[in-house]
Amino acid sequence: MDKEQESVVLSIGDCVTLSVEAGLFGILGTHGQIETELNVVTSASNDPSSICKLRDCRFLVLPMCRYTAAVTYRKSRKKVVESMFDTVYLAKLQLLHVKSNRIVTFKKQRPACLERSAVQVLLDECGTDGSWMCVQPCYKHRQMGDPVVIGDHVLLTSVRTGHVLNVTNLPNLLGTDPQCEVNGLQDSLTSWRLSLYLHHKDNIEHVLKGGDVIRLFHTESERFLTCDEYNGHQVFLRTTYRAAATTATSSKALWEVEVIHRDPTRTEAARWNSLYRLKHLATGLYLSVEPNPGESSATTASMDNRDRFISPLFLTVSTKPTIDTVFELESTAVASNANGLVPDRSFVRLRHVNSATWVQSTSVAIDITVDRPIMHKLGCVPLKVDKETFSIVPVSATVVRELDFANDAIKQLMSMACAFEENTITDKMVRILACLLVELVWFLVDGSKLDHGNLFHLLDDVVASRERQKLLREQNIIEQIFRLLRSPVISSLEPCERRPMAENWRTYTESDPFPNNDLTTDASSSPNRSGSTLISTRSRLDQVRYIGALCYRVLNVAQKGYRKNQTNINPSTRVPVARPWFLKYLADLCISNDRAVAVTQELICHSLLREENEDLLIKTISEDERVFLFWKKPEVLTDSSRNNTIAEINKHMKISLVELCQAARHHSTNESFHPKRVLDYYQKQIYLFAQMCRERQYIAINYLTSKLPIPLLLKCIDNEQVPEELRALHCKLLLHLHLDRTPQDIIQPIQYVRIWRNISLEYQFDSYESADVQTLEMTHNRDQFTPVIEFVNRYFNSGDLCMAHASLTLEVVSLARCLVYFGFYQLSSLLSLGQRLLFIVDQWACREQPRIAPETSSGSNQRTGKSQDYVEPTLKILEILKFIMDVRLDHAIHCVVAFYQKKIECFSSANRFPDSCLEKLSQDEECSLVNECIEFALQMKPDTTDCPYVTESDKKSFKPVSDGKSSSSPRLELLDIDGQKGRLMTTVMARLFLSPHKNLVTESLELLFRQHGQYEEFSIAMRQAR
């Protein structure tokens, strides 16, 4: 077979399109990735080139694969084709939909809708034996065993069921568009014409080819070629203001490459002499060039006076693939083969074919109304400029499919939002919308559905994909969600009807309008995630409430951990609403990924902490050793789930915090006072204050320091009549408002470099101080935190460390960690604190030790939730223990250096070497001196002080430290971190090593190794000491 014949024979690995002429002309494809049904994509004309290049209509020919195990399937998908071979009639193959990465599958157990004797044909993610198809000739001039030629009409028959891929076309008697369905029908004569889109020989790895999606990065200005909506669709280079410009991943900078082939229905591998079109993936518009005479002067100035145009040319977009959309790529290499292949990571220059001009960046801004324009036009000039180079950045298929999903979702959401606004919804539309919203939730959590059967039971620690959150915002999906919530169908509901969907998502299932939970389970955990057929049996109110709950769930996941670079909000427009949940929303805006967002903190501080807004906040005051709450206006006390405002009451209200907590606990209320609402609002306010002060935000710190002093916060924390969560929030506020601020700074626990004259000769246990330099302001600031240290010690010595006080324990441990890091503990107090913390961890580890007996799923989930409560405080305690071990090591270094200096002074006092005594020491004497210092530090000799250069008076000063038989405790016992010579430390770390939490395992192993390798650690530290 010659080369020309070989090019038209269908082979495994070819990318093809399938057209049909059964009553109408169309191409097999889909209408997006939301639904898995196949459709026939039609065109106004019968020209196949107008629709054959749609990404919805491309299929990859794969060999038949047996699905005996999931491993076999994954291996077969990784290596699509090992050996290319021609496809012959009666050969068995599979068709992979390129856009959705799903396989065409016959569903024998599912009858079709329009043709009841037919079966459904769907796109399946995994594929089954229903995916195997046999190619049969449609006409008699082809025989079994002949090669399948491109352009032949063939029958695609299921190997397992015997059904033929069929099209059912029913005219609509109402005069609307006819109904069309792709299904599988026995003895069908529907033939499909094979058209080649990309030959398998052109599908080369790391080579640019038609159908690839890329980004074009302008290397000189470090900006991406982007198309976006700004007074119409505009093409520009977007400035990101990022440290690394290449990290920008906007979905509006994706372009699909079309390599022009002599056959308008085909494409091929890119070559340097090929012609190209660039199609914007999100909008389907083509990159084009058009004159813009109105800006000739600006263009001339922006191009450095290299060329003067009467009609300058700018890049724009076009809806049709005209001659103005054709470009060429020129390599930046010195010499390149004109017929050579284009690598997918090349540096190229763009040349517009029709105008014979070269694409060049300009300084002409599009968004001239903003302070810092980020959109700059691109022009075309006759002369080629070397620096006007673009880097081709290939985009993975996963990113492309995510954008495809978002594009398909926004189209459906827009149509659904219009129907909700016009109140013309049907049961089918509600079912489709419910499935779409469920898909959006699973799309955001990126595969978490494998571990959770119901999206309303997703754990708080599920991390949403930030790139997908960003994608939903760029494609205006969040805006359409708000359109649904603002529609009359939802907004017209009474508050009692709307409440179940607006409350916290965890409590939604308690008031679930679907008692059997059939809809949520079917729509979220079924293999194909198809729409539930049971929603039509529910009332319209239940349907709308469920849609509203799904909308809130999408918004909840879409904003979780996202706002780390928020630069503009307007909280002043919402502060007068004064609802507890809005205060929590503001607090969440201050933090992203457990880090403070300084810009957002400043915006909230400037908007909330004003004199005109003081009436919105509840004041905390101390009178007669009691804590009182004081507020002025009743509008701040609103229901968190309704729009109702409390009736007008006294202008000023004042109540004791303890009395308020007791009233809220006993649900005592009247028409003018609702203690539970007041307490809820006050709790959210304290949480907001704590988040506003995080990471030393001095706008909030300076405002709140005098209003909430340390004694006042300690009264709230130490009062057992106050709810545990409120005590924990006051503790958090104390940490961020008073402790973590200037002049406190983290001390360096180990000092390897010491100045000889600053070394203290008093190296006894109680007189040791860290060698880290502390300012006078830091020293004077310690006195005000003495009550805080006493409270921490008292709390750790009490029995309040059960799981019922997990949140308070976490905050107290965080407070203790900062006190330790800032150097508020002396060595003796530090070791006592370490012993208490080890006992606490030992109790937790004993209680949460893995059990051998099997547990039920509910019991296992309950245990998992409880075990999570002690993980974070345990990790913080392990950090404190590591710091204590560092301080203990620093103490050992200090003792050696002080002991060494003491001996040198003994030589000088004895007048043996009056001048430069160190130089007079012999090598043997110096080695002996060093060995004795090390033995002294490691406590390896009980009679360390018995050396020829130490007098009797010096021995008395050494005796409390080195003499194990004295009345004082030996130094090893004094420096023992657990009081049991390391046995408790080893036991606790071994128990933590059995924990299912990997962070606990890692930290416990590190401490265990340090505990049993402290002599080696000390030896290494002494080599670094100077």
In a domain? residue 172: yes
Q: Quick check: 7 pLDDT over 60? A: no
pLDDT in tens, 258-300: 999 988 889 999 999 999 999 998 888 999 998 864 454 444 4
Residue 974 has pLDDT above 50, yes or no: no
Tokens representing 410 are 């926004």
Segment 325-371, tens digit of pLDDT: 999 999 988 666 778 899 988 999 999 999 999 999 998 888 888 87
Higher pLDDT, 986 or 851: 986
Q: Where are the beta strands (DSSP E) in 413-568?
A: none
Residue 448 lies in a domain: yes
Among the listed ranges 137-151, 223-237, 399-413, 951-965, which one has the minimum average pLDDT value?
Answer: 951-965
- Shared domain for 948 and 1012, answered yes or no, is yes
pLDDT of residue 336: 66
Q: What pLDDT, on the 0 to 100 scale, is given for residue 335?
A: 64
Strand partners, 482: none
Cα 150 to its chain centre, rounded Å, is: 46
For residue 648, how many other CB atoms are within 10 A of its CB? Answer: 10
Total residues found in the chain within this entry: 1026
Residue-wise pLDDT for 462-505, tens only, equals: 677 888 888 888 888 999 998 888 888 887 765 555 544 444 43
Identify the top-confidence range among 568-572, 597-601, 907-911.
597-601
Distance between CA atoms of residues 199 and 611, nearest Å? 72
Q: According to the model, what pLDDT value does residue 23 have? A: 63
Q: Which domain holds residue 588?
A: 568-738
Look at residue 405 and give its three-state secondary structure: helix
Distance (Å, whole) CA 646 – CA 673: 8
Residue 526: predicted pLDDT: 37
3-state secondary structure of 70: helix
Q: 186 and 230 share a domain?
A: no
474 and 588 together in one domain: no
**For 452-465, what is the mean pLDDT?**
60
Q: For residues 63 and 107, state if they share a domain.
A: yes
598 with 463, same domain: the answer is: no
- Domain check: are 579 and 557 in the same one? no
Q: Are 477 and 410 in contact (CB under 8 A)?
A: yes
Model pLDDT, residue 1: 41
Identity of residue 103 = I
By the 8 A CB rule, do 507 and 456 touch? no
Amino acid (one-letter) located at 827: L
Domain shared by 278 and 335, yes or no: yes
Q: Which pLDDT score, from 0 to 100, does residue 851 have?
A: 41
Residues 606 and 628 in one domain: yes
CA 388 to chain centre: 35
Q: Which residues contact 139 (CB under 8 A, 6 or more apart)?
A: 153
Bridging pattern class, strands 591-592 and 39-42: unpaired
Distances (CA, A) of 66 to 74, 127, 159, 795: 11, 10, 12, 64
145, part of any domain: yes
Give the C-alpha separation, 86 to 729, whole Å: 71
Please give the angle made by the CA atoms of 525, 531 and 535, to the nearest 5 degrees: 110
Q: Which of 198, 222, 254 is the last residue of a domain?
A: 198
**Among 369, 395, 421, which residue terminates a domain?**
395
Q: How far apart are CA 813 and CA 837, in angstroms?
A: 9
Which residues, other chains included, contact 702 with Cβ-Cβ below 8 Å and sequence gap of 6+? Answer: none
Residue 402 lies in a domain: no
Answer yes or no: is 847 within a domain: no
| Six-digit token string for 210 | 């038609």
State residue 312's pLDDT score.
76
Q: Which of 717, 738, 759 is the last residue of a domain?
A: 738
> Tell me: the pLDDT tens digits for 99-109?
888 999 999 88
- Asked if the model's pLDDT at residue 426 lies above 90, the reply is no
Q: What is the pLDDT of residues 700-747, one digit of tens each?
A: 999 999 999 999 999 999 998 999 999 999 999 999 999 999 888 888
Shared-domain flag, residues 897 and 1011 = yes
Residue 852 domain-assigned (yes or no): no
Please indicate, yes or no, whether residues 188 and 299 belong to a single structural domain of this protein. no
Phi, then psi, of 615 in degrees rounded to 5: -70, -15
**What's 109's domain CATH number?**
2.80.10.50
Lowest-confidence region among 431-435, 842-846, 938-942? 938-942
- Asked, as a colleague might, if the bond just before 743 is cis with ω within 30 of 0, I would say yes
Q: Helix, strand, coil proportions of the chain in percent (round to 5)? A: 45, 20, 40
Strands (E), 253-371: 255-259, 276-280, 286-291, 313-318, 327-331, 347-352, 357-365
Chain mean pLDDT for the chain: 77
User: Is residue 470 located within the same domain as residue 539?
Assistant: yes
What's the CA gap between 68 and 65, in Å, rounded? 9
pLDDT > 60? residue 863: no
**Closest by Cα among 352, 205, 348, 208 to 271:** 208
Alpha-carbon span 418 to 413, nearest angstrom:
8
Does some domain include residue 804?
Answer: no
Coil vs helix vs strand at 339: coil
In a domain, 493, yes or no: yes
% of the chain at pLDDT higher than 70: 70
- Region 1017-1023: what's the mean pLDDT? 81
The span from the CA of 448 to the CA of 831, in Å, is 43
Number of domains in the chain: 5
558 shares its domain with 572: no
765 band by pLDDT with thresholds 50, 70 and 90: low
